Structure formats: C-alpha cells, structure tokens
Structure 1
Amino acid sequence: MASTIDTGIQTPTQQQTDEQAFGRFMQRIDSLIDGLAKPRLRPDDELDQLAERIAARLSPHALWDLPEVAKYLHRSEQHTRQWIVTLEGFPKPLRIPSGKVTGPCRARPMWRSKDVIGWAEDQVET
C-alpha cells in the first residue's frame, strides 16, 4: 500500500481551495453572529423607558408639533392642519424661533399638550 508524505508544500490549487474554504467559514461565522439575539433590556427597564416616554408626551409642559396633535386627536396631519387647528377656540400655537441668523425665520407651530388635551375634553356633545 502506497503512503503519501505530507511535505508541507501546497500547490497553488490547494492554497486557493484553502483560502476559499476559510472565506466561506468566516462568512458563516459572521452570519451566525448577525443571527444571534440582540441583548434585551430587563422587563423593568423597558417599562421604565416606556413610562418616561409617556410622561414626557403627557407632561403639561410638553410641546407638540402638528403630527403629535394629529395623532392625539386621531386625525390625519392634513385634516388637522386644514380643519382642526383653524377652528375658533382651538389653542393658539407657540412659534419658537429657530435661531437661524440667515434666511427667513420660519418657526413651526407648537402647541402645549395640556392646552390641546383641555380643548379636546371640552368637545363633549350635549
């Protein structure tokens, strides 16, 4: 029976095959790492973050832009812009300057959340 002796010398074909195999191996490792579950926050941390976000949105000092007002009122932004914020009695917006030195200073309208909530609660049918 003939035996082969490993001389440690690779032919160009063997070297290329090894490099390809190693490349495929590394791609597989990368895909496995990408597929691992991302670390999740503890449930208490998630609840704390959610509570902070809710509190920030409902704080009497919170300012809402048009999309937030529309979302709160369950209306589209277009409907809110065209029909709701133009109603007599709807809270007047605050217009805080952008602080830009050059160009027109177009401050976008913002409403106090407490004013919008109060207005909405006053819309009870009798």
Structure 2
Amino acid sequence: MSDTDIIQKIAAAVVAQIKPAIPLSIDLWDISTIAQFLKRNESVVRERIACKPDFPPAIRLPTETGKRGHPLYKAKDVIQWAEKYTERRA
C-alpha cells in the first residue's frame, strides 16, 4: 500500500466521521448548547434565563411515553434574544 493509498483511506475515514452542520436558521438548541453560547452555567440558564418572560418559548417534542420531552429552543430566536442586550454607546 502506497503513501497515497494510506492518505486516501485516512481522508475517507475523517470525512465519514464529520457530521454536517445544521444551519442556525433551523437548528434546535438544548439548555447545554445555550449555556455554551451565552458563556453561562447550565443551571443559570435553566433557573434564571430561560424562565424570563422575554426569552423565546420552548419546543417540547413528545416522547415514546406520551410525555413532553426536554425543552428545545430555536437557535435563531436565542441569538436574536441575546443580541437585544447589546450595550449602546452614548
């Protein structure tokens, strides 16, 4: 097996492992992802931020048991919400 063959096999293996990015316009974020985006602890997001009246509404998909799943949020809505808090220069 030549070096080129080895490189091609490695490249193919890497490509197989890469997950395609979901566009922010349609992605759904969980509390953990929102915490990473906002640079906050998950408990802070869950207990102090997501419960704010102006925070985007949660999407709760049904589970197999018919109960409501963990809250998910539209990424674009969370980003827009955060940008509302940009400080204005005097």
Same fold by TM-score greater than 0.5: yes
Length-normalised TM-score, structure 2: 0.71
Relative contact order (alpha carbons < 8 A, sep ≥ 6): 1 or 2 greater? Answer: 2
Count of residues in Structure 1 that have an aligned counterpart in Structure 2:
78
Report what 1:96 is aligned to. Answer: 61
1:73 is displaced (CA, Å) by 0.8
Computing the radius of gyration from Cα coordinates, the structure with the larger value is: 1
Report what 1:63 is aligned to. Answer: 28
Q: Which runs of 5+ in 2 are unaligned?
A: 1-8
- Cα offsets for 1:32-83 (capped at 9, x unmatched): xxxxxxxx843xx56x937x2xx32x43111111111111111110111111
Length-normalised TM-score, structure 1: 0.53
Secondary structure at 1:79 match in 2:
helix
Report what 1:113 is aligned to. Answer: 75
The structure with more helix, counted as a fraction of residues: 1
Report what 2:46 is aligned to. Answer: 81
Q: Which runs of 5+ in 1 are unaligned?
A: 1-39
Contact residue 56 and residue 78 of structure 2 kept, 8 A = yes
Identity %: 31
Distance verdict in 2 for CA 1:41–1:119, change over 3 Å: farther
Structure 1 distance, partners of 2:81, 2:36, is 15
User: Pairwise mapping of residues 9-20 of structure 1 onto structure 2 (< 5 A)?
Assistant: none
Q: CA RMSD in A?
A: 2.4
* Segments ≥4 residues shifted beyond 4 Å: none
